[in-house]
Chain A
Amino acid sequence: MTLRKKTLLKVIILGDSGVGKTSLMQQFVNNKFLHQYKATIGADFLTKEITVDNKVVTLQIWDTAGQERFQSLGVAFYRGADCCVLCYDVTNEKSLNNLTSWKDEFLVQSNVANPQDFPFIIIGNKIDIEESRKIPSLSKKLNNITNQGFGGLNYPVFETSAKDSINVEAAFEVIAKMALQQEELNEVNGGDVSDDYNDAINIHLEGNGSGCAC
């Protein structure tokens, strides 16, 4: 049994290229906004310590490359995530429609124990941009995506502006709460047993006590 030194919550931000993943992370962690971040290649993360429910936790926020082909590199760090943030750009309909595939991709790669209970959250970014450029009848379309009965993305939705720092803090507060719950749930259920469990390529090692003999 490994001892957890401190509560580390792992959060993954996913979404199409250019929706503002890096900006959201930078705004939350460093309170800064640049008009142009460089395109993210591979992945990057920042940490921030915050207090949730009177408990000090460290949020480890992973920012990812948005282009589809980079998903093949994602395997390594999706694992062990406590919360996944699905991002879209309120001026880009395609990025909204892609949320479902991002979620599916995450579930496949992360190998979480109970996919239907895993905490996701949706963030629609760039609400500072003028109304006319936003997706027409956005709330209806968003509803369609979140309420398709079973399999729909029935998750909390936040509309943010990383630029003007609107709702970013609030969103991450909820993210932290959800992640903490998930983490505690994992503890109760015996930790990260899901890891490696049904990975076809994980060839069984003969009795050299590989890791998780919890």
Chain B
Amino acid sequence: MAPEDKTEGSGSGRPPTVGGAHTLAANYLLTPKSHQRTDSSYSRNYSLLDIYGTESPLEEGTALPERGLDASIMKELDRLDFHDTDNSLTLDEPEIASPITIAFDRKSQIQPISPDNIDGLLKSPYDRYGFKKASAHHSTTKEEYNEWFKEYSQYSLRRKKKWLLLMKSNGLGLDNDNAIPTRFPPKSDKVKKMIRRGIPAEWRGNAWFFYAGGNEKLNKHVGVYDRIVKDTAEVQNKDTEVIERDLNRTFPDNIYFNDMLGADPGSSSTTINTDSLPTAETGMIKCLRRVLVAFAHYQPQIGYCQSLNFLAGLLLLFMEEEKAFWMLVILTERIIPKVHSANLEGVHTDQGVLMLCVKEYIPQLWSILGKTFEGETLSEDKILTRLPPVTLVTSSWFMSLFVGILPIETALRVWDILWYEGSKTIFRISLTICKMCLDNPEFQKARGTSGGGAEMDQIELFQFMQNFPKIILDPNFLVDNCFKKIGGYGFGSLPQDEINNCREFVSKQRSKLNSKKTSSLATELTDEERKTLISSSGSSYNDEDGSIHDVYGFHRSIMSGVVWNKNMSNKMKKKFSKRLK
């Protein structure tokens, strides 16, 4: 018994998706074509990549229809899938517009979208999470936001129905549609796909916590958080000093973090006015302080690192502070270890891995950024010790996990996937964004007019990569590019163990090169030494064509699965090109 889709077929008043007022690029991003695809075509398309990209036994059946579900529910899902393609959907005219104060009502946590409150959400200058729709911190206007949200809210309603069905089929049915579950279905291929399509916003906190293993962590440490908070209440040190400075610099455009925003809720204009100091501390700022100070105390090898404020801040919008604290611990222990440590070693490692991936999978991009400003091609050992400048952009993606980098709904979708699938998500999404930048006509145009030269190319790329993610308003656009079997980039099949192996390799290389650096400071290595150094780490040196391939041997063995895929796709390409002839 699925709830009826009330909006079905109710008319022609649907606003056009393409408005003349926007730039071409914005339209492209706000209303991607891929949006029109059905979920079933998304999930059941078959691809070569599927076979090799499996991550767990659960995923073996990727290409097959789900078998575990009750037949009637399957039917129901298919029926709903059908509605996904129904373009005649329209908004119900709500009788009463919901009050603008929606965003201020903290008690109710995240307000579920219902046909009745969409209009209110559209009118409000704030989104469901309390962020200003238009602000100086991103480039979207309220109108652009609303144009996207009109469509996305309908999408969210449809997804919610599917989630309710999924819960039911797993014996986790809810008393009513507005109840917030605390338990979720066990990991499966079906669940993974559901998560990639987005968790209902009001369930997010609980779902993240559940899939990240938060309950286990919390149960093992009953009362610990409270104790730390008590112990650290009076602490003042280097960390707390930086924390204090960052509290108000975390989400200055969010109503829960900056009470001055609430003072002028009428400013629905698209002009920016964050020019007001918070007068009193919001409760959220107090929570944020406690969590960050407690964390710095609990993880002394990390202490406080800027960007943790964004992570903790976002968690706090979705869960109570004790849970947010443990999620931060899980994140820094298991998902992105050492990324925030005192020497940021994890950042260097992960950026090394990312650059090796770019070199392997997006060679066109590598031909731009794998160079010094003087145009010299970076050799592999340099990639790992002196990262290309563009890693200053990408390292913030890893440190902030896209918070403040991608528009909020898109960042939240990445988080849905991240907590469920782990750190490979960050690499997959990063590579997808990189490729999207490269393919963007605006970037190609900018390159063409920049006057050339390796430096200008890199500068253009740097700036482009810094700004481009801010306009990916629609999460599905990014997720489709990443995971879609046909039409996507294929980075969604980069497996975790490849990432792990590569992380290990990079980390070993770095420590070797660093110890070499200290032991042979100011003396240059001979070629012989260099060869030994590189081959000792199981890589072969190939001096035929200079420096770029000198660790190619390693590379192939580590990325074997995907390299194999690449070979396959080359074969396929050849086949097709023959046919075309």
Contacts and interface: CB of A to CB of B under 8 A. Distances in A.
Interface in B422-481: 451-453, 456, 459, 462-463, 466
A200 B517 contact: yes
B530 interface: yes
Contacts of A39: 245-246, 249-250, 306-307, 309
Interface stretch (B140-148, B208-216, B369-377): B369-377
B389 A72 contact: no
B137 A38 contact: yes
> By DSSP majority rule, is chain A's interface helix, strand, loop, or mixed?
loop
Interface string A53-79: 000000010000111011011011101
Given A43-B392, A69-B342, A211 B376 contact: yes
Interface in B514-545: 516-517, 520-525, 527, 530, 543
B572 interface: no
Contacts, number: 140
Contacts of B347: 73
Contacts of B76: none
Given A38-B249, A75-B386, A206 B522 contact: no
B343 A76 contact: no
A197 B517 CA distance: 15
Given A6-B451, A69-B343, A200 B389 contact: no
Interface residues of B, number: 69
B393 interface: yes
Contacts of B309: 39
B306 A65 contact: yes
Contact of A72 (B343, B530, B543): B343
Interface string B381-395: 110011111011101
Interface stretch (A28-36, A148-156, A173-181, A182-190): A28-36
A95 B524 CA distance: 38
B525 A73 contact: no
Contact of B248 (A36, A196, A198): A36
A211 B386 CA distance: 16
Nearest to B376: A211
A195 interface: yes
A80 interface: yes
A210 B252 contact: no
A33 B274 CA distance: 9
Interface string A10-31: 0000000110000000000000
A208 B547 CA distance: 8
Contact of B396 (A2, A41, A201): A41
A38 to B, nearest CB: 6
A67 B306 contact: yes
B258 interface: yes
Nearest to A3: B453
A202 B382 contact: yes
Contacts of A199: 386
> By DSSP majority rule, is chain B's interface helix, strand, loop, or mixed?
loop
B160 interface: no
B5 to A, nearest CB: 40
A69 B338 CA distance: 12
Q: What interface size band does chain A fall in?
A: 35 or more
B366 to A, nearest CB: 16
A67 B396 CA distance: 14
A188 B277 CA distance: 49
Contacts of B466: 44
A66 B391 CA distance: 17
Nearest to B342: A69
Nearest to A74: B392
Nearest to B450: A5
Contact of B374 (A34, A60, A200, A211): A211
Contacts of A35: 252, 274-277
Which of A17, A39, A196, A204 is packed against the most chain B CB atoms within 10 Å?
A39
Contacts of B250: 38-39
A42 B375 contact: no
A32 B272 CA distance: 10
Contact of B463 (A45, A198, A203): A45
Interface in A101-155: none
A72 B348 contact: yes
B373 A80 contact: yes
Given A38-B250, A65-B306, A67-B242, A204 B543 contact: no
A2 B543 contact: no
A93 interface: no
A200 B277 contact: no
A192 B374 CA distance: 9
B136 interface: yes
Contact of A203 (B136, B381, B451, B453): B381
B374 A195 contact: yes
B525 A203 contact: yes
B399 interface: yes
Nearest to A19: B245
A201 B385 contact: yes
B404 interface: yes
B513 A201 contact: yes
Contacts of B385: 201
A60 B395 CA distance: 21
A42 B456 contact: no
Contacts of A75: 386-387
B246 A76 contact: no
Contacts of B248: 36
B73 interface: no
Contacts of B169: none
Nearest to B372: A211
A204 B525 contact: yes
Nearest to A77: B389
Given A2-B453, A69-B342, A211-B374, A34 B136 contact: yes
Given A65-B306, A69-B305, A72-B343, A208 B451 contact: no
A195 B343 CA distance: 24
B20 interface: no
B386 A201 contact: yes
Given A6-B451, A70-B344, A72-B343, A208 B389 contact: no
7 contacts: A36-B277, A73-B391, A76-B389, A200-B517, A201-B513, A201-B516, A204-B524
Interface of B: 136-137, 242, 245-246, 248-252, 258, 272, 274-277, 305-307, 309-310, 342-344, 347-348, 372-376, 379, 381-382, 385-389, 391-393, 395-396, 399-400, 404, 451-453, 456, 459, 462-463, 466, 513, 516-517, 520-525, 527, 530, 543, 546-547
Given A5-B453, A35-B277, A42-B392, 13 more contacts: A34-B136, A39-B249, A67-B305, A69-B343, A70-B306, A72-B348, A77-B392, A79-B373, A200-B517, A201-B513, A201-B516, A202-B382, A206-B543
Which 10 pairs show the lowest CB-CB distances between chains A and B? Answer: A36-B252, A211-B376, A42-B396, A18-B245, A5-B451, A41-B396, A208-B546, A76-B389, A211-B374, A43-B392
